[in-house]
């Protein structure tokens, strides 16, 4: 499905707007397959074209939220997320993760209060 797709119900659009469509991924976090914060999972077709620098993002578990998701530029084309993912990996620390989680919660709260 793509943005604006007729396959998305009104409820689905609302859940997507609030970011609640991501909640099932909490199961993957509990299983240890994902992290709360990290690069978003990537599709194999894109990974196969990564440069050696871009392959660095595969060294950390994928996350439910990340630097790109909370950046003011998250509406940019999807290929820009790689730079944010690599920046996250370079700066990664528990405090940096906390900062991203707080920004994610603020974004979520803003979505709740403006809906």
pLDDT band at residue 109 under the 50/70/90 scheme: confident
Residue 95 lies in a domain: yes
- Per residue in 33-84, pLDDT (tens digit) is 999 999 988 888 888 889 999 899 898 999 989 998 888 766 677 667 888 9
Residue 2 falls inside a structural domain: no
| φ, ψ for residue 50, nearest 5 deg | -65, 150
Structural domain that includes position 23: 10-113
What residue has token string 């595969």? Answer: 58
Residue 103: per-residue pLDDT = 93
Tell me, yes or no, whether 4 lies in a domain.
no
* Number of domains into which the chain is organized: 1
Is position 3 within any domain? no
On whether residue 5 sits in a domain, the answer given is: no
Q: Is residue 40 part of a domain?
A: yes
pTM above 0.75, yes or no: no
């Amino acid at each position: 499905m793509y943005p604006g797709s007729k396959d998305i119900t009104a409820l689905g659009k609302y859940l997507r707007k609030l970011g609640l469509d991501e909640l099932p991924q909490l199961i993957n976090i509990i299983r240890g397959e994902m992290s709360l914060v990290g690069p978003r999972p990537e599709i194999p077709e894109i990974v196969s074209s990564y440069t050696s620098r871009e392959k660095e993002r595969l060294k950390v578990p994928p996350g439910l939220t990340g630097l790109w998701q909370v950046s003011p530029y998250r509406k940019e084309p999807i290929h820009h997320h790689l730079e944010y993912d690599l920046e996250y990996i370079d700066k990664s620390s528990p405090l940096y993760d906390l900062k991203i989680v707080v920004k994610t919660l603020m974004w979520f709260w803003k979505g709740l209060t403006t809906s």
